[in-house]
Amino acid sequence: MLIACIGVFCRSATAPQQSTVYTSAELEAGKQLFSSLCGNCHKINADMSGPALRGSLARWPNRALLYAFVRNSKSVVDTNAYAKGLYLAYNQTVMPAMPQLTDNQIDQIFAYVEANSQP
């Protein structure tokens, strides 16, 4: 099982989502990554060419699948019904593969997303 630990907080890649506390440095790193890699297509609180990322964490059964999708969405679209549905709903746009992103970096992006989500 994959476990990511930052400070005293550990996140399981395969367990259901849990709320976690992030440091301001992690949130800042997530903001930078989001702006440079995701912001062309995604907003946090509104749909654009990609869906609003607000609540996205909770829509995935586990983080491992979400990590895989962000790194190479096509591989998950081919094997997962939820991902396939999104792909069809969004004009069959393939998200650019970003294999260089680590689990930690993806966690940081979603920490930033969660911290800036409107209720």
Please report, as ranges, the residues that interact with ligand HEC according to CB under 6 A: 37-38, 40-42, 49-51, 53, 56, 59, 66, 70, 73, 77, 86-87, 90, 93, 95-96, 98, 109
- Closest to ligand HEC by CB, 59 vs 79, is 59
Closest approach of Cβ 36 to ligand HEC, in Å?
Answer: 9
Closest approach of Cβ 44 to ligand HEC, in Å?
Answer: 11
How far apart CA 7 and CA 57 sit, in angstroms, is 21
- Measured between alpha carbons, how far is residue 73 from residues 24, 89, 95 in Å? 28, 14, 6
How far apart CA 4 and CA 15 sit, in angstroms, is 12
- Closest to ligand HEC by CB, 8 vs 117, is 117
- Closest to ligand HEC by CB, 11 vs 51, is 51
Residues with Cβ within 8 Å of 55's Cβ and at least 6 positions away in sequence, in order, are 117
